[in-house]
Amino acid sequence: MAKVLVVGGGGREHAIVHALSKSSKVSEIYAAPGNAGIAKLATCVNIKDTNVSNIVAFAKAEGIDLVVVGPEAALAVGVVDALNEAGIKAFGPTKAATQIESSKSFAKELMAKYNIPTAGYRTFSDYNEALAYVKVNSLPTVLKYDGLAAGKGVVVATTLEMADEALKDMLLDDKFGHGRVVIEEYLEGPEFSFMCLVDNNKVYPLEMAQDHKRAYDNDMGPNTGGMGAYSPLPFITEEDYNYALNEIMIPTAKAMVDMGVPFKGVLYGGLMKTKKGIKVIEFNARFGDPETEVVLPRLESDIYDVFMSIIDGNEPLLRWSDCYTIGIVLASKGYPGDYEKEFVIEGADSDDIYHMGTKIDDKGNLVTNGGRVLFAVAHGASLEEANKKANLLVDSIKCDNLFHRTDIGAKAYKK
Ligand code: AMP
Ligand code: GLY
């Protein structure tokens, strides 16, 4: 029986831990650092997800058989490289391969070189040059900070003032750190998340999901890390699916090998179905959050075997339930801007509620501890049924400082 360590402490890691807890091969699960929900299924150890040396030391001392690394920040500092060097099996890409997510310019250059369809773009490090470029091009325009910014480094500017403010934040005030900006052509159409297990040249698709990036109903408000998700996707035809797999995901995996940065782990294509075809909005080097929380509950195969197959170079067995899942994020009021923490939460005991940002306070209460706090998932024979059930589950949660969207998945079933 195997001992598994999951690195991270959000809803994605809670869903991974939940899936591992159903494996017949796994005897013990640890999480670093985990959260209050994960603690019900795993032993949480107080190690930060980016503390490479402590993660390696813990895995060695405990005789861990498999480490699954969730967050981009941990991948970007090389947790997987360090574990591999120590002879410990780890699921996730190396630091070099994580660049597909951590550097927008690396991803754009790869797509340009290998003819992978994406929005036209230019990269700038000088504020005045960037502003001059925006002035002579049409609006809306898309400004992306060239680094990790927890889903908040992208501004779709509809006015020159908005673009100017974002460029000042990113290039003059270094709001996300000192860096560059990618300015992109604005694309339109429904977005979807295509996560694939990748083992160098080999690509094994997971079921698709759709995230809802905007903070409020009807896709209003600022971009967030994601406010809700559902799976599978009725608007994706077989032709769309084949195109996304054969013209985007497989060529990208092959391009990474060709460029000397082979990828092993989950390659996440953030794709858009535009009138001119499917195009890449972004790549991530990991499971999406909250997509994972609606996709993994539909996986019927043993996830431990799936992870080990990818690591060992074998074909994983992927069997899916044909139910629909919808999940709704409960976020702290103010998110994605400033918010307060430590509000008491009641009624969040269901196994279908994943914890994204919670902790147990000094008095033993479950309290809010992040921007995105909880994720309520429901299953149904249709999206409509799953949406109704998910909203009921949300209503059972009592907390004074949370808000949520009520229209997750609605566009897919409301005519
Ligand atoms: P990203 O972090 O690159 O996925 O961007 C966050 C969100 O900004 C996306 O999910 C889209 O909703 C929006 N976005 C990014 N790039 C574009 C684009 N080129 N055109 C239109 N919207 C975009
Ligand atoms: N849900 C979007 C992401 O994981 O980046």
Q: Is the pTM of this model over 0.85?
A: yes
Task: Identify which ligand lies nearest to the alpha carbon of 266.
Answer: 2
Q: Is the distance from the beta carbon of residue 282 to the nearest atom of ligand 2 less than 6 Å?
A: no
Choose the weakest-confidence range: 106-110, 344-348, 410-414. Answer: 410-414
Supply φ then ψ for residue 188, to 5 degrees.
-130, 140
| Ligand 2, pocket-test mutation among 211, 227, 281, most atoms within 8 A of CB | 211
What one-character DSSP code corresponds to residue 87? T
Residue nearest atom 4 in ligand 1 by C-alpha distance: 282
Residue nearest atom 4 in ligand 2 by C-alpha distance: 288
Instruction: In whole angstroms, give the CA distance from residue 306 to residue 297.
Output: 14
pLDDT in tens, 237-255: 999 999 999 999 999 999 9
Place of tokens 């992978």: 116
Q: What is the pLDDT of residue 148?
A: 67
| Ligand 2, pocket-test mutation among 13, 72, 291, most atoms within 8 A of CB | 291
For the chain, the maximum distance between any two Cα atoms, rounded to a whole number of angstroms, is 62
pLDDT in tens, 288-303: 999 999 999 999 999 9
Q: What is the pLDDT of residue 179?
A: 79
State yes or no: pLDDT of 151 exceeds 60.
Answer: no
Neighbours of 318 (CB within 10 A): 16
Q: Which atom of ligand 2 is nearest to the CA of 211?
A: 1
100 CA to centre of ligand 1 in angstroms = 16
Q: Is the distance from the beta carbon of residue 13 to the nearest atom of ligand 2 less than 6 Å?
A: no
pLDDT in tens, 362-398: 999 999 999 999 999 999 999 999 999 999 999 999 9
384 CA to centre of ligand 1 in angstroms = 27
pLDDT category at 173 given cuts 50, 70, 90 is: confident
Q: What is the pLDDT of residue 163?
A: 96
State yes or no: pLDDT of 147 exceeds 80.
Answer: no
Instruction: In whole angstroms, give the CA distance from residue 173 to residue 119.
Output: 27
pLDDT category at 361 given cuts 50, 70, 90 is: very high
- Ligand 1 pocket (Cβ < 6 Å) reads 119, 142, 144, 151, 154, 156, 184-187, 191, 213, 223, 270, 281-282
Residue 131 to residues 3, 12, 109, 144, Cα–Cα distance (Å):
53, 37, 22, 14
415 Cβ neighbours under 8 A, 6+ residues apart = none
